[in-house]
C-alpha cells in the first residue's frame, strides 16, 4: 500500500490510489526501470484520472521529457534560459486538449506542479480539479537555504523502494 499523497487544496477528497499506483507501475515497466534514486530524481511522472462520456474511467500517465533527452534529440539549447525540459503536466494537458470528450477528475504528480508553468496551466484549464503530490522541494529547505531532501530520496521512501 502506497502512502497517501498531499493534496491541493488541502480539503480535497482523498487521492484515488490508482493514480500513484499507475505512476509506480509506469516506472517499474519502463525499459530500463526508473526506480533508482537518480531516475526518481530526474523523471517526474504524472497520472490523471478521467471519465469519458459513457462514464468509463481511465488513467493517463505521462513522464516529463528531460533536458538531456531534448539535447540528445535537438542539440544544446541556444541560451541557458532555454534549457528547460517538457514537464509531465504539460504533456498530459496536451493529451487531454486533443481529447475534449474526456473529463479530468483528479491529477497526481510525483512533484508538486511548478509555480511558473504547470500550476498556472492547471488552475486555468482544470479549475476545481484537485492535485495530489508526494514531493515539494519548498518543504525541504533548511535554515541556511539548503535543500535537505531531494525528490529521489522522498520518492524512494513513499514508494517503498
Whether 67 shows a pLDDT value over 70: the answer reads no
Give the span between the Cα atoms of 45 and 59, in whole angstroms.
12
Average pLDDT over residues 119-123: 95
pLDDT one-digit tens code per residue, 75-111? 777 777 666 677 899 999 999 999 999 999 999 999 9
Looking at residue 79, what is its pLDDT? 76
* 3-state SS assignment for residue 1: coil
| Count of beta carbons in the 10 Å neighbourhood of residue 64 | 22
**CA separation for the pair 34, 151 (Å, rounded):** 13
Stretch among 34-38, 52-56, 77-81, 124-128 having the lowest mean pLDDT: 77-81
3-state secondary structure of 18: helix
Q: SS3 of 146, please?
A: coil
Structural domains of the chain, ranges and CATH numbers in brackets: 6-158 (3.40.140)
Which pLDDT score, from 0 to 100, does residue 83 have? Answer: 64
Would you state the pLDDT for residue 147? 64
- pLDDT at position 144 is 77
pLDDT band at 155 (very low <50, low <70, confident <90, very high): very high
Residue of 14, 34, 36, 37 lying closest to 24 (CA atoms)? 34
pTM comes to: 0.88
Place of cell 514508494: 159
Does the pLDDT of residue 16 top 70, yes or no? yes
β-sheet with 45-51: strand ranges across? 6-8, 131-135, 103-111, 45-51, 57-63
- Residues found in the chain: 161
Kindly state the helix (H) or strand (E) to which residue 150 belongs, with its residue range.
none
| CA separation for the pair 49, 18 (Å, rounded) | 8
Amino acid at each position: 500500500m502506497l502512502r497517501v499523497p498531499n493534496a491541493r487544496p488541502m480539503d480535497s477528497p482523498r487521492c484515488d490510489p490508482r493514480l500513484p499506483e499507475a505512476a509506480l507501475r509506469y516506472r517499474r515497466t519502463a525499459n530500463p526501470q526508473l526506480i533508482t534514486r537518480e531516475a526518481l530524481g530526474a523523471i517526474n511522472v504524472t497520472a490523471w484520472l478521467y471519465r469519458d462520456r459513457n462514464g468509463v474511467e481511465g488513467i493517463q500517465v505521462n513522464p516529463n521529457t528531460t533536458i538531456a533527452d531534448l539535447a540528445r534529440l535537438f542539440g544544446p539549447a541556444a541560451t541557458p534560459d532555454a534549457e528547460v525540459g517538457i514537464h509531465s503536466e504539460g504533456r498530459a494537458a496536451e493529451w487531454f486538449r486533443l481529447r475534449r470528450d474526456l473529463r479530468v477528475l483528479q491529477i497526481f504528480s510525483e512533484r508538486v506542479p511548478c509555480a511558473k508553468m504547470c500550476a498556472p496551466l492547471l488552475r486555468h484549464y482544470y479549475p476545481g480539479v484537485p492535485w495530489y503530490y508526494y514531493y515539494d522541494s519548498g518543504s525541504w529547505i533548511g535554515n541556511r537555504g539548503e535543500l535537505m531532501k531531494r525528490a529521489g530520496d522522498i520518492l524512494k521512501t513513499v514508494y517503498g523502494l
